[in-house]
């Protein structure tokens, strides 16, 4: 039916087409669009619901208003007032409860009937009045019987919520969703997801065959874009419109879009004789569509079944929304971290390699970093560090600490302990409280061809020195308090000569620590594998240490810096020294 235009004015959503609903004496009225959102409301409805138009317009009517008799949130599969939105018919009933703005419940008698909005969309007109008024009569809508008992449906919804919210991985969430609905509700399940760039991807087509879930990859993959005007069920679901019952007969005619062609192929290949398609909605947007189909299983989907499918799809949407947000946060942090990590300098005679590996879980992107740069006097600074925390704040703190350390180390020739002391005082003054562990080392090639390493350690795991013959030792000297505690500490330096052909490994604690292993176990494992593979090329050695040493139950990110001094003892390249002497002589002559 078309809602007539009247002079008396109800309130409308900003994007609603102009229209007027007559304000009735006893009954309230509101109009919902094809997504179930309130687009118009009469003043009498505001009075009955004790909510202003601003509180009603644009809201999902079911989420905002529909409640059980005790005020509990009502699953969509149990909501009688939603059935007309799915079937397109007219229904009426008695003793449904609507949530008022003051927290009380309004028992209602109601009538829902379809209407056409003036922008071409379909919607529904909802009339309701106080169900406790004299003369109200109960009318049971005959919309079909669910294939599951009420208790089983509630149990399935509870399991769906618990299972889908237990993971923040999109692929794992989809796997769990398939397991929940097949074969309990259908023998085919299809999941179509909208991509971040506006496309559509058929993410899963799964069939229950002889007790096994079989993925049909030939039916999966990218699909055409969503047509804006198509009335076909899948196109409507991907636009966020209400769930629909469908079957192969719906797609027998000439296809109106590329998606309709894919649907024709889907019904033909799967043999589905009945299907229910529901939108998968996130908090802010539509994420995709869930299709459940029956081929070998007898009996068509009913409206009650479709309400259950819609409820499951909605819960899946919230879980997928959280998983996507989590992965987006990880991607942002990881990208920022990788862009902040430096390129290694080229030092004559010295091999260097470095890597950063994010944690396996999306939230665990944090403050591990490595650095290496040439100092003004020609020596090489080596840094490995870890800002406490595993989130964007830790990554941001890492960037500040890393940049300050570079500036302090390059300002003047100082021992590493003096640089770390200045850095410690600066970290305490940072606006965001930050603590960090770090090793700062100074590697110098002497005039007689030796490689001398001078370092200071602020609470970090000790570097590992591996000699060419496989002997190993941890450089335990120069230990001091971590940065950012606010406690002044006396910092020390240590010096060692790196034997020809030896390898130095600087690493963060994610390489050796895990909940299931002690720190000593991790250090011993690192020493053993580094010693047995010291003959390998430097890049290959780093990859092997990550593969063999890093614990399987590791939940931290890892940064690692390795270097190898040449086997042949050679004097350092003294061109930088001669150039500095030449510039000094030129300035003196001027």
Residue with tokens 């690692």: 560
Contact 287, 194 (CB under 8 A): yes
Mean per-residue pLDDT, 10-29:
65
- The two tokens of residue 98 are 């609507």
- Most confident by average pLDDT, 115-119, 140-144, 360-364, 388-392: 115-119
Query: Which pLDDT does position 336 carry in this prediction?
Result: 63
Residue with tokens 């995709």: 288
Mean per-residue pLDDT, 305-315:
91
Query: Which pLDDT does position 16 carry in this prediction?
Result: 46
The answer to whether residue 405 scores a pLDDT higher than 80 is: yes
The answer to whether residue 417 scores a pLDDT higher than 70 is: yes
Mean per-residue pLDDT, 251-280:
93
Query: Which pLDDT does position 570 carry in this prediction?
Result: 53
Q: Any bridge partners for residue 287, and if so which?
A: none
Radius of gyration of the chain (CA): 34
Mean per-residue pLDDT, 140-160:
65
Confidence of residue 555 (pLDDT cuts 50, 70, 90): confident
Q: Which fold has domain 11-130?
A: Beta-Lactamase (3.30.450)
Confidence of residue 569 (pLDDT cuts 50, 70, 90): low
CA distance 61 to 291: 24
Query: Which pLDDT does position 3 carry in this prediction?
Result: 47
Query: Which pLDDT does position 590 carry in this prediction?
Result: 47
Buried b (16+ CB within 10 A) or exposed e, 141-171: bebbebbbeeeebeebbeebbebbeebbebe
pLDDT tens, residue by residue, 420-469: 999 999 998 887 778 999 999 999 999 888 999 999 999 999 999 999 99
- The two tokens of residue 369 are 């970093």
12 compared with 2, residue with greater pLDDT: 12
Q: How many CB atoms lie within 10 A of CB 454?
A: 18
559 compared with 434, residue with greater pLDDT: 559
Break the chain into its structural domains and give their ranges: 11-130, 150-331, 343-575
- Dmax (CA) for the chain in angstroms is 112
pLDDT tens, residue by residue, 27-60: 899 999 888 899 999 999 999 999 999 999 999 9
Give residues with Cβ within 8 angstroms of 564, minimum separation 6.
350, 351, 501, 502, 503, 504, 538
Pair type for strands 451-458 and 479-480:
parallel
298 compared with 384, residue with greater pLDDT: 384
CA distance 428 to 586: 43
pLDDT tens, residue by residue, 91-108: 888 878 899 998 888 999
Query: Which pLDDT does position 365 carry in this prediction?
Result: 57
Q: Which range is least confidently modeled, 54-58, 70-74, 134-138, 513-517?
A: 134-138
- The two tokens of residue 554 are 């590791």
CA distance 413 to 426: 19
Query: Which pLDDT does position 363 carry in this prediction?
Result: 47
Confidence of residue 184 (pLDDT cuts 50, 70, 90): confident
The answer to whether residue 272 scores a pLDDT higher than 80 is: yes
Query: Which pLDDT does position 235 carry in this prediction?
Result: 93
Query: Which pLDDT does position 493 carry in this prediction?
Result: 97
144 compared with 463, residue with greater pLDDT: 463
Query: Which pLDDT does position 274 carry in this prediction?
Result: 95
Closest CA to 561 of 405, 351, 410, 395: 351
Contact 225, 199 (CB under 8 A): yes
Q: Which range is least confidently modeled, 465-474, 513-522, 536-545?
A: 513-522
Query: Rounded mean pLDDT of the chain?
Result: 84
The CATH superfamily label for domain 150-331 reads GAF domain (3.30.450.40)
In this chain, the answer to whether the domains covering 11-130 and 150-331 adopt an identical fold is yes
- Most confident by average pLDDT, 6-15, 175-184, 363-372, 571-580: 175-184
Contact 130, 48 (CB under 8 A): yes
The CATH superfamily label for domain 343-575 reads PPM-type phosphatase domain (3.60.40.10)
Q: Calculate what percentage of the chain has a pLDDT beyond 70.
A: 86
Query: Which pLDDT does position 103 carry in this prediction?
Result: 83
Closest CA to 250 of 239, 241, 238, 259: 259
Confidence of residue 145 (pLDDT cuts 50, 70, 90): low
């Amino acid at each position: 039916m078309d809602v007539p235009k009247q002079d008396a004015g109800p309130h409308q959503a900003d994007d609603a087409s102009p229209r007027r609903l007559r304000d009735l004496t006893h009954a309230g009225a509101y109009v919902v669009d094809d997504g179930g959102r309130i687009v118009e409301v009469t003043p009498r409805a505001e009075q009955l619901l004790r909510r202003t138009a601003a509180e009603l317009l644009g809201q999902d009517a079911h989420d905002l208003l529909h409640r059980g008799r005790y005020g509990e949130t009502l699953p969509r599969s149990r909501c009688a007032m939603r059935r007309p939105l799915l079937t397109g018919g007219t229904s009426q009933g008695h003793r449904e409860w609507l949530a008022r703005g003051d927290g009380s419940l309004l028992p209602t008698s109601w009538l829902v009937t379809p209407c056409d909005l003036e922008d071409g969309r379909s919607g529904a007109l909802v009339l309701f009045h106080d169900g406790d008024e004299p003369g109200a009569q109960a009318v049971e809508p005959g919309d079909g019987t669910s294939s599951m008992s009420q208790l089983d449906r509630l149990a399935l919804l509870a399991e769906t919520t618990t299972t889908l919210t237990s993971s923040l991985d999109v692929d794992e969430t989809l796997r769990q969703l398939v397991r929940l609905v097949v074969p309990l509700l259908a023998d085919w399940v299809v999941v179509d997801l909208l991509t971040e760039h506006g496309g559509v991807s058929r993410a899963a087509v799964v069939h229950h065959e002889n007790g096994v879930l079989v993925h049909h990859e030939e039916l999966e993959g990218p699909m055409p874009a969503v047509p804006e005007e198509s009335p076909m069920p899948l196109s409507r679901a991907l636009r966020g419109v209400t769930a629909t019952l469908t079957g192969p007969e719906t797609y027998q005619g000439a296809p109106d879009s590329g998606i309709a062609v894919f649907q024709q192929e889907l019904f033909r290949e799967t043999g589905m004789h009945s299907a229910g398609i529901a939108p998968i909605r996130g908090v802010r947007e539509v994420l995709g569509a869930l299709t459940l189909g029956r081929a070998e299983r007898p009996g068509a989907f009913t409206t009650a079944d479709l309400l259950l499918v819609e409820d499951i799809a909605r819960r899946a949407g919230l879980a997928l929304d959280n998983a996507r947000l989590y992965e987006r946060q990880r991607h942002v942090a990881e990208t920022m971290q990788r862009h902040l990590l430096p390129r290694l300098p080229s030092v004559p005679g010295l091999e260097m390699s470095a890597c950063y590996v994010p944690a396996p879980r999306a939230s665990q992107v944090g403050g591990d970093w490595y650095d290496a740069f040439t100092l003004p006097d020609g020596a090489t600074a080596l840094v490995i560090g870890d800002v406490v925390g595993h989130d964007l704040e830790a990554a941001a703190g890492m960037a500040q600490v890393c940049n300050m350390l570079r500036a302090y180390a390059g300002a003047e020739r100082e021992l590493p302990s003096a640089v770390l002391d200045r850095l410690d005082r600066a970290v305490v003054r940072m606006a965001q409280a930050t603590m960090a562990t770090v090793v700062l080392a100074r590697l110098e090639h002497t005039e007689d061809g030796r490689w001398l390493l001078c370092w200071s350690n602020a609470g970090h795991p000790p570097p590992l020195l591996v000699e060419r013959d496989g002997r190993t030792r941890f450089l335990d000297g120069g230990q001091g308090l971590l940065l950012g505690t606010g406690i002044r500490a006396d910092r020390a330096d240590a010096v060692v000569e790196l034997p020809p052909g030896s390898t130095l490994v600087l690493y963060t604690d994610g390489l050796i620590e895990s909940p299931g292993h002690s720190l000593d176990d991790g250090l011993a494992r690192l020493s053993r594998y580094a010693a047995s593979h010291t003959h390998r090329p430097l890049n290959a050695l780093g990859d092997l240490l990550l593969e063999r040493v890093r614990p399987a139950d590791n939940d931290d990110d890892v940064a690692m810096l390795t270097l190898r001094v040449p086997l042949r003892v050679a004097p350092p390249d003294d061109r930088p020294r001669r150039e500095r002497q030449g510039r000094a002589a030129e300035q003196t002559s001027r």
